[in-house]
Amino acid sequence: MNRVTFEIPGAPRPLERPRVTRRGIAFTPKRSVEAKAHVATLARAASVKPVAGPVQMVLSFIFPMPKKREPHHVDGFPCTKRPDLAHLIKLVKDALEGIAYYDDKQVVVIQAQKVWGEEGATVVTLERPDFLVPQPDDPTVH
């Protein structure tokens, strides 16, 4: 897998928890379904193809700075507001299943950050981890 990078414009969206109706039927909220579809569409537009084997994912969640800025609202400075990083990662990871990899268990390394920026966006980079040890079926192993 070569390195593939693409950007998702707009404020980062988290994966919302499944909801349960009064009758006990679970469903995924519409906003999460739409956000996952949007990520999938942009990944396909960036010519992302599924690969076998381990994948490294590098994510930068850039939140637009609020109109009323405080001293810590500086471009590139860590963002400590909601949503939490785990839910942001989960949405992108789930949306790319079947598009960038066959199963999300293939993602073995995730590097992620939440920062402030002038414009909101999510930058996704996918690549093969560079620390991998050759596999036994690899012809270069003696």
Query: Are 55 and 2 within 8 A, CB to CB?
Result: no
Distance separating alpha carbons of residues 114 and 52, to the nearest angstrom: 29
Residue 96: HSE in the Cβ half-sphere, 13 Å Cα cutoff: 32
Cis peptide before 64 (omega within 30 of 0): no
What tens digit of pLDDT does each residue of 94-134 get? Answer: 999 999 999 999 999 999 999 999 999 999 999 998 776 55
Total-model pTM:
0.86
Distance, in Å, from the CA atom of 93 to the CA atom of 103, rounded to the nearest integer, reads 10
CATH for 4-127, among 3.40.50.1700, 3.40.50.1980, 3.30.365.10, 3.30.1330.70?
A: 3.30.1330.70
Helix ranges (DSSP H) in the chain? 30-45, 85-95
Residue boundaries of the structural domains of the chain = 4-127
**How confident is the model over 7-64, as pLDDT tens digits?**
999 999 999 988 899 999 998 899 999 999 999 999 999 999 999 999 999 999 999 9
